[in-house]
Amino acid sequence: MIPNEVQAALVALGYSVAVDGNIGPKTREAIKDFQKRHDLKVDGHAGPLTIARLHEALAAAKPAPAIPEPGDIVPAQWMPAGRLERVICHWTAGQHRASDLDRSHYHILIEGQGGLVRGDSPISANGIGGTGKRASHTLNCNTGSIGVSLCCMAGAKEQPFDPGKAPMTAVQWERLVRVVADLCRRYGIPVTPRTVLSHAEVQANLGIKQRGKWDFTRLAFAPSVKGAKACGDLLRAGVSASLAA
């Protein structure tokens, strides 16, 4: 692989690096992260072993899953028993497809067309007293927290708002509402601003400091909804309605 191809492969796997043929610090960091995840020597150089693994990872990149039928949409085996207290909703700041990186950070991903993808960590690992590798999705707030993320908003800007090339879709939002409703039903989570919320609300609603997270303060498909509370209220209204239906 020439440098361009290495960078293109990294982008396809969810890393945000420029495809310019220049292996700079950002590309090296991405290579290092990929090497770490794939048990390779972490040196930031795309040597033969790393390139072989990149080819494998690209080949293994999954086809888009089919959109589930109406009704309960989260498969029962994705919701193992555990003590979970809240659902925190995010976007990946990536493309419309779930990447390796996305799967390592969240329990459930919702792709641009609405397909659901299961993350690497089971929800039970984030449960209170849970064991196994936890999904790390919210700074200092992962215990008891389920992380759901919409695959979207790569390159988006908050001010002035620019949703970028992979804007959040209305289909993703509809799916999110139903996924969160399934999770609330399964784990007995009430729909309140402290238990069903977006990442952008964590600091205000739970008092846990985050670093400038704005998922969600804007909804690309509904430009009139502005601010973390307005987005969160819309989410909770949808989930409550879905639970009551």
- Alpha-carbon gap, residue 94 to 17, rounded angstroms: 12
CA end-to-end distance (rounded Å), the chain? 53
Complex with Zn ion: residue 90 or 134, whichever CB lies closer: 90
Residue 213 CB, shortest distance to Zn ion, in Å, is 5
* Number of residues located near Zn ion, criterion CB under 5 A: 3
Complex with Zn ion: residue 106 or 187, whichever CB lies closer: 106
Q: How many residues appear in the chain?
A: 245
Complex with Zn ion: residue 74 or 148, whichever CB lies closer: 148
Q: Which stretch binds Zn ion (CB under 5 A): 53-61, 85-93, 119-127, 150-158?
A: 85-93
**Pattern 100-129, binding to Zn ion, x per CB under 5 A?**
------------------------------
- Alpha-carbon gap, residue 17 to 15, rounded angstroms: 6
Complex with Zn ion: residue 160 or 212, whichever CB lies closer: 212
Q: Which stretch binds Zn ion (CB under 5 A): 40-48, 62-70, 125-133, 212-220?
A: 212-220
The structure tokens listed for 31 are 């290579």
Q: Which stretch binds Zn ion (CB under 5 A): 97-105, 171-179, 193-201, 222-230?
A: 193-201
The structure tokens listed for 79 are 């919701």
Complex with Zn ion: residue 57 or 173, whichever CB lies closer: 173
Of the candidates 53, 86, 90, 236, which one interacts with Zn ion according to CB under 5 A? 90
- Alpha-carbon gap, residue 174 to 221, rounded angstroms: 11
C-alpha pair distances (Å), 109 with each of 65, 93, 119, 129, 151: 11, 12, 7, 24, 7
Specify the DSSP element, H or E, that contains 116: strand 116-118
Q: Please tell me whether residue 215 binds Zn ion under the rule CB under 5 A.
A: yes
Strand 196-198 relative to strand 86-91, pairing? parallel
Specify the DSSP element, H or E, that contains 4: helix 3-12
Residue 214 CB, shortest distance to Zn ion, in Å, is 9
User: Beta partners for 148?
Assistant: 89, 108
Residue 210 CB, shortest distance to Zn ion, in Å, is 8
Q: Which residues bind Zn ion (CB under 5 A)?
A: 90, 199, 215
